[in-house]
Amino acid sequence: MRISELSRRSGVATATIKYYLREGLLPPGRATAATQAEYGESHVRRLRLIRALIGVRGLSVSAAKDVLDAVSEYATDTHELLGLVFGVWPASGAAKDEDAYADDSEVGALLAQMGWKVSEHNPARDVITQTLQTLRSLGMDYDWHSLVPYAQLAEKTATLDLDQLEGPDDPLEKAERAVLLTFLLEPALLALRRLAQEAESTVRYRS
Amino acid sequence: MRISELSRRSGVATATIKYYLREGLLPPGRATAATQAEYGESHVRRLRLIRALIGVRGLSVSAAKDVLDAVSEYATDTHELLGLVFGVWPASGAAKDEDAYADDSEVGALLAQMGWKVSEHNPARDVITQTLQTLRSLGMDYDWHSLVPYAQLAEKTATLDLDQLEGPDDPLEKAERAVLLTFLLEPALLALRRLAQEAESTVRYRS
């Protein structure tokens, strides 16, 4: 297909596609004339993944390029692929600075209790540590034990998430679905909790 | 207690307490001299709730005052109290502009399926509608049916949330716990999902 058709199919503007070509995020098409090239389905899928990484996950163009390069390298390894698009381990292979690790002994205890194997690069670790510290600084009696029932429900949520990635065999498509479903569903999951809170409050206090 | 002790107990700076007194968020203490007043436990609890509404929920000072006035009015009605601090219905009693309602027939179908009774002012409705529209605009085959299993888990999460509000009888304390647990736990719940995704990915693709 021509670049105009590629633009229509992927929902990405022609000027943006040319920019991605120059920056090396998108491999060149097959040249058919001095100023024309032919693009294929793999370009459509790759553009969709780029859009997901930049537009939805909020990566910079160069960070997206690192992830795309790594996705090509680990295309047959689903676990590695998902870790890359979720940012669980760095695409560049650069190790996190040792000093950057907060004391996450509470997270360690929670993970051990749940039997979860999780990379030490997973940025979600720090979020848990900070939340517990903030709640305690505001006078709440809260530690990792309080999160165990929530973690059990998160485990069921993650099972639903990964079930939806079982379909596509194409690694680019799988990576795109993983980004869209994980990042775009976040506000909806919090909104479902708010709706459920109101519904539960009605049942408890209005019956 | 003196204002300095009130500051120490509540974690709010003296200058900020004086500002809240001038703005009417905090009722005056009992005057003991021309420039001195005596404050009680109700001031400590009210300051903690103010801090939660402004610092955690991100309300403006005047919006926090509206909520505090309404909390005093509905102190004995837990359902009304929780609706106010969650923003489910407007503290001022002002109705939402009719034109502001998006087409939320999908949310209606989801609520009916779940058997949830939810106010039409609940801002979480729009979040669900927008998420579904965004996912479809990116080519995903997604509608409200896809959210039902997530809604069932949200229902269990909300039950955990409300169980933790059963303790305190004091309405100010109950409102403060509701704000802290709902808003501060949000990033932690999303982080637990990420950790669980990685753990589940390890089980599925690395065994």
For the stretch B81-139, pLDDT in tens is 888 887 766 655 444 555 555 678 999 999 999 999 998 888 899 999 999 998 888 88
What is the structure's pLDDT at B84? 80
d(CA A170, CA A178): 12
d(CA A84, CA A53): 11
Per domain, the residue ranges of chain A are 3-205
- Per residue in B23-76, pLDDT tens? 999 999 999 988 889 999 989 988 988 988 888 878 899 888 988 888 888 777
* Portion 30-69 of B in contact with A at CB < 8 A: 48, 51-52, 56
| B26, two tokens | 């905090």
Task: Name A85's Cβ contacts closer than 8 Å, sequence gap at least 6.
Answer: A53, A57, A67, A71, A175, A178, A179
What is the structure's pLDDT at B90? 60
CB A64 within 8 A of CB A50: yes
Minimum-distance CB partner of A118 among B187, B193, B199: B199
**Does A112 lie at the interface with B, CB-CB under 8 angstroms?**
no
Interval A177-186 mean pLDDT: 87
C-alpha distance from B24 to closest chain A C-alpha (Å): 23
Tell me what the pLDDT averaged over chain A comes to.
87
Q: Up-side HSE of residue A202: CA atoms within 13 Å toward CB?
A: 13
Sequence letter at residue B114: M
Query: What is the dihedral angle through the alpha carbons of B177, B180, B186, B192, rounded to the nearest 10 degrees?
Result: -70
Tell me what the pLDDT averaged over chain B comes to.
87
Chain B residues whose beta carbon lies within 8 Å of the beta carbon of residue A141: none
CB B146 within 8 A of CB B113: no
CB A104 within 8 A of CB A125: yes
d(CA A129, CA A110): 11
Task: Name B2's Cβ contacts closer than 8 Å, sequence gap at least 6.
Answer: B36, B38, B39
* Burial readout A32-55 (b: 16 or more C-beta within 10 A, e: otherwise): eeeeebebeeebbbbbbbbbbbbe
Which candidate, A116, A110, A119, places its Cα nearest to that of A147?
Answer: A110
Q: Is the pLDDT at B156 greater than 80, yes or no?
A: yes
Confidence of residue B167 (pLDDT cuts 50, 70, 90): confident
Contact B197 A151 (CB under 8 A): no
Query: What is the dihedral angle through the alpha carbons of B117, B167, B52, A132, rounded to the nearest 10 degrees?
Result: -100
Q: Give me the helices (H) in B52-143, please.
A: 61-73, 78-86, 105-114, 124-137
Which candidate, B12, B88, B18, places its Cα nearest to that of B52?
Answer: B12
Measured CA to CA in angstroms, residue A173 lies from A2, B32, B99 at distances of 21, 72, 39
Confidence of residue B152 (pLDDT cuts 50, 70, 90): very high
- Which H or E run includes B14? helix B14-23
- Per residue in A59-105, pLDDT tens? 899 888 988 888 888 777 888 888 888 776 655 544 455 555 567 89
CB-neighbour burial class of residue B174 (10 A; exposed 0-12, middle 13-18, buried 19+):
buried
Minimum-distance CB partner of A197 among B86, B153, B193: B86
Residues in chain A: 207
* Portion 68-87 of B in contact with A at CB < 8 A: 77-79, 82-83, 86
* Portion 119-138 of B in contact with A at CB < 8 A: 119, 122-125, 127-128, 131-132, 134-135, 138
C-alpha distance from B205 to closest chain A C-alpha (Å): 6
Q: Torsions phi, psi of B30, nearest 5? A: -85, 120
Minimum-distance CB partner of A196 among B127, B157, B205: B157
d(CA A57, CA A61): 11
d(CA B55, CA B184): 11
Question: For residue A1, how far is the Cα from the chain centroid?
Answer: 30
Contact A79 B204 (CB under 8 A): yes
- Per residue in A20-51, pLDDT tens? 999 999 999 999 988 889 999 989 988 988 98
ipTM: 0.85
